[in-house]
Homo-oligomer: A and B are copies of this chain.
Amino acid sequence: MVGTSTKRRIFSRIINSLTKYTCKRHSSTESTESWNLVPRKEVKRFIIECMSSVKTRQDHAEKLADNLSTADYRGHYSHGLNRLDMYVRDIDSGITERDGDPITIKESQATALVDGQNVLGPVVGDYSMQIAIQKAKQTGVGWVAAKGSNHYGIAGWYAMKAVDQGFLGLSFTNTSPLQVPTRARKPTLGTNPLSLAVPAKDKDSFVLDMATTTVALGKIELHDRKQISIPDGWGVDSEGKMCNVAKPVIETGGLMPLGGSEMTGGYKGYGLAMMVEIFCGILAGSDYGPNIRRWKSTERVANLGQCFIAVDPDCFAPGFVDRMSDLMNTCRNLTTAEGEDDTVLVAGDPERRHMNMCDQKGGIPYHPNQIKFGIELAKSLKVEPMKTLTG
């Protein structure tokens, strides 16, 4: 269904959409002034229709659309529209189920084990997180592990569902091997992201959503394209040696754990990646570690493992959100370092800035290449293209 020209564009789109700008942590290189704006509702409409065109069940398509459009709205462009064709392809080829429902196969008062039945990741994750929240309402904590899942988009989407209920939310997923353990030379663990979302006062919130590698692969691909060197701590070559040239890292090497080399604490990032894997594949009984299929390959079902936790702060000391807001605002108001031209942020602030900007503009700004890709995808799927506000 999706043509080869589309496939060929995957790499190009990943690169382009990684041109982020909301804060320094996202290599700032480009203004969004000239980008096309698309209202979030229209982005969702487009995603739903694309998914429906390959016969995805309507409510599945809606959940995916909510996850992907949330990613773009929050400024995580790598996980939004940029990945739509992957989900389309997964459904179209049958490697991901277009219909079905996750099932709970084991339960205790505070826990559940879910079999995702190989439907779309956001469907499995939403089902699992709702159970975690229900358990937290009853016992104070809900801890759910899911097997038989697929790529689940941004980790924060699930964790934030708990915040909507006034709860703390955590979400974890294992992913295809890209991370090279400290002292090793071969990618053996995934980027294994984790998210913690926590409510504060006046709808403020803390949203940590991070990979346990120093950076994502796409960031290194971007440096390769620009032919600039990568900093220490990002990647290793095929011999496992830290490398400042992007190409060997991408082609035959791998990502370094958060912390980089052993001297700068990389073994801690490797330990955190193992923690995520323990909560996901090891608890859930899905594929895990190096057994997970390679990134972008679809020779077999993903069978990813994921974990979702909800905690009710009312079970602990009164005044949780007051303390939370105080801590966050204390950090935000800290005197900045010499030479720093922006304020101190807390997790979730860069995304908040991006969402505010979208709200002011009346839509999500997309890079022209992303819009172009959308038009091509629409054509190949015989779906009405996204209506842009400008351009």
A residues with CB within 8 A of B: 24-25, 106, 108-111, 113, 138-141, 143, 145, 147, 168, 181-186, 188, 196, 198, 206, 208, 210, 214-215, 231-234, 236, 239-241, 258-260, 262-265, 267-269, 271-272, 274-275, 277-278, 281-285, 288-290, 311-313, 315-320, 323-324, 327, 330-331, 334-340, 342-347
17 chain-A/chain-B pairs, Cβ below 8 angstroms:
A109-B109, A111-B140, A140-B143, A141-B143, A147-B317, A181-B334, A183-B337, A183-B344, A183-B345, A184-B337, A185-B337, A198-B278, A233-B259, A260-B264, A267-B347, A274-B327, A290-B330
When distances are taken between beta carbons in the complex, the residues of chain B under 8 Å from A264 are 214, 231-234, 260, 264
In the complex, what's the smallest C-beta–C-beta distance from A244 to chain B, in angstroms? 12
List the B residue with the shortest CB-CB distance to A345.
B183
From B108, B111, B183, contact of A340 by CB (8 A): B183
When distances are taken between beta carbons in the complex, the residues of chain B under 8 Å from A168 are 278
> Told that A109-B140, A147-B317 touch, could you supply 4 new A-B pairs with CB distance under 8 A?
A25-B262, A106-B315, A145-B316, A281-B323
When distances are taken between beta carbons in the complex, the residues of chain B under 8 Å from A344 are 181-184
Which one of A141, A267, A345 has the highest number of Cβ atoms from chain B below 10 Å of its Cβ?
A141
When distances are taken between beta carbons in the complex, the residues of chain B under 8 Å from A342 are 183
* CB pair A288 B145 closer than 8 Å: no
When distances are taken between beta carbons in the complex, the residues of chain B under 8 Å from A265 are 214-215, 233, 258-259
From B113, B262, B268, B311, contact of A317 by CB (8 A): B113
